[in-house]
Amino acid sequence: MRTVATTTLLATCALLALAGCDHDDPVPPTPDAGTRPDAGTEPDAGRQPDAGTQPDAGSVQGPAVIGSTPSEGETNVLPVEMFKADATTTGVRKLVTLTFDTPMDTTAAEVTLVDRTTPANPPRTLTGTWSEDGLTLSVAIPRPESDLPPLEEETAYTLELGALRGTEGHAVDTSHAGLGDGRLDFTTGRRDGTTEHACAHALLESPVPVTASASPTIYPATDSSHEFYGLTLPASGTSFLGYTEVVSGESRDEPVILYLNHPIPVAVHDTTEGEDAVASTLEPARPVCLPAITHTLKFTAPGGDRFLRLTFGPTERETFTFVFERY
């Protein structure tokens, strides 16, 4: 038998069911883990600007040397070069040039020369001259003292470039393949005394004018020792070609060198009894006094008063100079 209380409770529940409700309390929806903001989708420290990707003073590449005279590590470098100091005297120096891959700060032009063979010799601070475009520095190394050459023979030197800067202020790159350590290293050889002697003639004397012959049978002589000749060649078609004579010595074969200011082709023939070719070599001269002497022609004149014909050309040059020397 149901009690009154039980009947009343059932009636109440029936009314609630008719209203669409049940006995459970409302539960607010909970956000799904899949719809929540994920730490993986938030800005990540790994995606933020990283100190390792920012410009780094240590990673900025400075200007690099892409060419030099002498070249890096070169040996047998000529230690003395000559130039015309004034109308009656010559001077000596050594020229070094450095070419960079980017324009440089032309207000900074000091380099330091270090004698690695004799460390007791103090380093020398030298000031170079920049080209107009700021890419090439020319350094003239003078005598350290009035009675000493610019550079000693057979000596290892280093030219330190630490004071040079690019236009943005960066030092010379010390890892570039050109110089490696950012310094120019080279070793001198012996002086070239014979070319120095010829340079004195070419720099200070006025050339003796000679017009070469257009005929291969009659031609003027150009065979005086220590003479500085200015030769003019006759026209031959669209180029120039001419002949001169050299008479050899009486008693012995003589090495002969013509110190030329241009690479003029020259053929040598012994015409004493016939038309015999004499071996000769045209080659670049050592750079003792460029551009006064740029090339040498070498041959041996056979002894016995032999008559040699020199054929100059064909060449595009009508005039040139040379110093004639017998040894």
**Residues 232 and 267 occupy one common structural domain:** yes
Q: How many CB atoms lie within 10 A of CB 129?
A: 12
Q: Evaluate if residue 43 carries a pLDDT over 80.
A: no
pLDDT digits (tens, 9 = 90+) for 200-227: 999 999 999 999 999 999 999 999 999 9
**Residues 199 and 303 occupy one common structural domain:** yes
Q: What is the pLDDT of residue 272?
A: 96
Residue at a domain's end among 174, 191, 208: 191
Name 127's bridge partners. Answer: 110
pTM of the predicted protein model: 0.77
Tell me which of 49-53, 114-118, 183-187, 280-284 is least confident.
49-53
- Can you give the CATH number for the domain in which 96 is found? 2.60.40.1220
Residue-number span of the structural domain to which 290 is assigned: 195-326
pLDDT digits (tens, 9 = 90+) for 25-34: 444 444 454 4
Classify residue 238: in a domain, yes or no. Answer: yes
Residue at a domain's end among 136, 171, 191: 191
Q: Give CA separation, 110 vs 73, 83, 113, 167, 313, in Å.
A: 21, 23, 10, 15, 46
Q: What is the pLDDT of residue 59?
A: 55
User: Domain count of the chain?
Assistant: 2
Q: What radius of gyration, in Å, describes the C-alpha atoms of the chain? A: 43
Mean pLDDT of 59-80: 91
Classify residue 8: in a domain, yes or no. Answer: no
Classify residue 255: in a domain, yes or no. Answer: yes
CA angle 163, 165, 167 (to 5 degrees): 155
**Residues 187 and 200 occupy one common structural domain:** no
Q: What is the pLDDT of residue 57?
A: 45
Q: What are phi and psi of 288, to 5 degrees?
A: -80, -40
**Chain-wide mean pLDDT for the chain?**
87
**Residues 156 and 222 occupy one common structural domain:** no
Mean pLDDT of 147-171: 96
Residue at a domain's end among 143, 173, 191: 191
**Residues 174 and 238 occupy one common structural domain:** no
Q: What is the pLDDT of residue 60?
A: 64
Q: Evaluate if residue 169 carries a pLDDT over 80.
A: yes
Tell me which of 15-19, 233-237, 288-292 is least confident.
15-19
**Residues 106 and 226 occupy one common structural domain:** no
**Residues 199 and 176 occupy one common structural domain:** no
